[in-house]
Chains A and B, each alone.
Chain A
Amino acid sequence: MDIIICVKRIPMTQEVDLEIDDSGKDIKKDALAYVVNDWDNYAIEESVILKEKLGGTVTVITVGDEDDEDVLRRALAMGADKAIRIEPGELELDGFLISNILAQVIKGLEYDLVLTGVQADDDNFGMVGIMLAEKLGLAHSAVVTGFEAEGSEATINVELEGGLDEVSKIKLPALLSIQTGINEPRYVSIMGIRKAGKKELNVVKVEDIGLSDEELVRQTIIEEYFLPPETEGAEMIEGDPSNVAEAILRILKEKGVSV
């Protein structure tokens, strides 16, 4: 089975006090560490598991600059066979445009399955997978937590609201947005890192993939970022632990919680 996975390198924003930059349209990123998007990591693992089981190749793609090659090399070290980086140059990107670019490149490749993460941890739009499926004319399923291929079909598990698990069949080729927890992503071993150094990593420029200028325009423009204003209404309960506990109990009861 030939698999294509789309991945993104994102800044780690947990446990950091984010600050808005001078433009007011982005956050300050220079002090942030960058990692592979968590969802994508599961997608990479899933593709490598499938390759190990069924044979075939895994190609990993990102739209990004040279620094973003980190996540491609990482995927190669986990077991992907080939990597493609699409250099966007000065283009301003959004989910729509990224999916346009990816679709254009993926059209020219052989595949049975395309994987993305459900969403990217930076802006949590969750759009690229769905739009990419549409543009490639593929069946799509999101929040996939299980995959079992049977010939030209596959049985997939999808996580629904309220903890429900939906089992369905999907025709291949298809595009699946992978949910975290579908597997346990492996470590990147030093042996893998060594092998990755010898694998193919191709760079293509966005102007060379055959999209017209009109097709290279983003559809969303960020106007402003702001931190939520501090609101009234929080009550700080002070005192020793037993007083605090008493106060919490009293408030809960007042608000109608039966305790």
Chain B
Amino acid sequence: MADRKIFSGGEFLITDAAPDDVFTPEDFTDEHKMIYETARDFVTKEVEPNIDKLEEKDHDLTLDILAKAGELGLLGTDVPEEYGGLGLDKVSTTVVTEAIAPAGSFAVVHGAHTGIGSLPIVYFGTEEQKKKYLPKLASGEWCGAYCLTESGAGSDALNAKTKAVLSDDGKYYILNGEKMFITNAGWASSFIVYAKVDGEKFTGFIVEKDFPGVSTGAEEKKMGVHGSSTRPVILEDAKVPVENVLFEIGKGHKIAFNILNIGRWKLGAGAVGGCKICVTNSVKYANGRTQFKVPISSFGMIKTKLADMAIRTYMSDSMMYRLAGMFDDKLGTLDDEDKKSGAENAKAIEEYAAECSITKVYGSEILDYCVDEYVQILGGYGFCSEYPAERYYRDSRINKIWEGTNEINRMLVPGTMMRRAMQGRLNLFPAAKAIAGELMSYSPLSVQLPDTPLALQEHIVKMSKKIALMVAGVSAQKFQQDLAKEQEVMAKIADIVIEIFAMESGLLRTLKMISKEGEEKAKYQIAAVKVYVDENIPKIETWAKQILAYVEEGDMLRTQLAGVKKLARYQPIDTVSLKRAVADRVIELESYPF
């Protein structure tokens, strides 16, 4: 990790990273690879044979398997060694999260436990809180849960009604309220609960299941992830010792939002694991299924599906590990003192809030795409629960809803970047201004591209960034402080930025691979990047023009549209052949090929 340039949050949009600046799955150490194998082995032997029982929410079995995961270290990657964990890098956590994904509902139990259920204490707990709770959480003796949502406070999480009042003797906070949709509620021993002290100061608390006044309501009947427990958590005069206040009174939002940031990118990592299984399961079926006297994998339309699934998964994968590497670099700048400080941790995590939202939206939507095609490739069998495709299809859907809905996260992508720009932490506006000037003299016809394998794609990614900056600049100028109210514009800017991060992450990973292993070894990756850029530059152009058509009018509009047209100038390449090549590779390997 030593020589990577550390990017500030959102900076990728204005500064081009070099291939060596990004972490890629090809950079895994032997240790990372072994950790992956351990997690996979665990899922294959402990979870998969028990899927049916787990889907029925077998309480004891779930906790048994969680404890086994603890024995293997699968719960402790983020917990420092002195508190019974392993204190590994974020890449290791990402590897575990990805590898556990095929565990279905158990992956939800695991994810909520290790993520939102444990990390608030890791990053914001006092020494005593860490000593008391983390060893139990890292070993799986206790299961953790996280209680932010209420019936009236979902996306608007700070609107919580749960109240905390100091007891007369000053020893307890008395909590009253009801949390909703709490993952692991049915079997958790500790809950991170947010409540408003005196009805106004939003604050985090560590609440134990056995504290007086704590109970859970009935299980929700859900579309998917049936093996995860989702219940209300009811606090009726719940007595929480004052030493269980997490971080500072009135600073609960710092915990809540930063933990969600990590949760978002972990969700993305889990989604990548799911996508890879979809590709592998789909091609296995397609190779084995004969219709019209041939395997259905020989049909062009099925090949297109296999290729698209694999290519999009490659972009998602590249993005997740790139972000994991960014976090490792950033958190690596903290010294031991800083690491114990909730405020310092929050600052480091908050840095990549926009990137976290990007990975959450992208990861969940690519997974949704993959599960849909997985069902489709199985035809009627995909619709029946005898095959896992049906469960995958249902289980995927929640990912667009929790950890901040994809609407909320889309708002956060440009929202966070604009805020950072206002604070002077991201040079968005000068960069946008510069482009307006450049545009006058820019002519796509005079562009000379070097004769390297992905020169055109590198160029298009650069141009896409200019388009993004241009429309973001124009929109910000027009609506100023009210831009956030223009959600349709915000969402389209988000979509442009998300696709740029995806294209660029896949591109940089592939360039890095070419430079290390040569063009031949990277030929399918090269094909993937070519296809992906080909399909996304027209989308980016359209979104940009739609934004402009709303924001500008008259001559100004015509000039701006012409500008976008120049920047997005691109002649389509033959992606049919490229996709066939990628699909043939998937078919040959009978698995996700990258």
Contact = CB atoms under 8 A, between A and B. Distances in A.
Q: Which of B37, B76, B88 lies at the interface centre, i.e. has the most chain A CB atoms within 10 A of its CB?
A: B37
Given A188-B38, A190-B92, A191-B86, 12 more contacts: A16-B590, A69-B30, A70-B33, A74-B34, A77-B34, A189-B72, A193-B31, A193-B38, A193-B73, A194-B31, A194-B86, A197-B30
B31 A189 contact: no
26 contacts: A31-B588, A31-B589, A69-B30, A70-B30, A70-B33, A73-B30, A73-B34, A187-B38, A187-B72, A188-B38, A188-B41, A188-B72, A189-B38, A189-B72, A189-B73, A190-B38, A190-B73, A190-B74, A190-B76, A190-B86, A191-B73, A191-B86, A193-B35, A193-B38, A196-B34, A197-B31
Nearest to B593: A31
A216 B88 CA distance: 44
A187 B73 CA distance: 11
Contacts of A188: 34, 37-38, 41, 72
B85 to A, nearest CB: 10
B77 interface: yes
Q: Which of B31, B77, B588, B589 lies at the interface centre, i.e. has the most chain A CB atoms within 10 A of its CB?
A: B31
A104 B570 CA distance: 65
Interface in B1-53: 30-31, 33-35, 37-38, 41-42, 45
Contacts of A187: 38, 41-42, 45, 72
Interface residues of B, number: 22
A73 B92 CA distance: 17
Interface in B277-326: none
Contacts of A16: 590
Contacts, number: 47
A184 B45 CA distance: 12
What are the 7 tightest A-B residue pairs by CB atom distance, in nearest-first order? A190-B73, A189-B72, A193-B34, A188-B38, A191-B73, A31-B589, A189-B73
Contacts of B34: 73-74, 77, 188, 193, 196
Given A31-B588, A194-B86, A189 B30 contact: no
A77 B34 CA distance: 9
Contacts of A69: 30
Contacts of A77: 34
A31 B588 CA distance: 8
Nearest to B75: A190
B553 interface: no
Given A74-B34, A197-B31, A190 B588 contact: no
B71 interface: yes
B77 A190 contact: yes
Contacts of A73: 30, 34
Nearest to B76: A190
Contacts of A194: 31, 86
A74 B36 CA distance: 12
A34 to B, nearest CB: 11
A76 to B, nearest CB: 10
A60 to B, nearest CB: 15
B470 to A, nearest CB: 45
Contacts of B86: 190-191, 194
B35 A190 contact: yes
B82 to A, nearest CB: 14
Nearest to B38: A188
A39 B303 CA distance: 39
Contacts of B30: 69-70, 73, 197
Contacts of A190: 35, 38, 72-74, 76-77, 86, 88, 92
Interface in A205-232: none
A25 B588 CA distance: 21
A196 B29 CA distance: 13
Contacts of B33: 70
A69 B33 CA distance: 13
B283 to A, nearest CB: 13
Contacts of A74: 34, 37
A191 B495 CA distance: 41
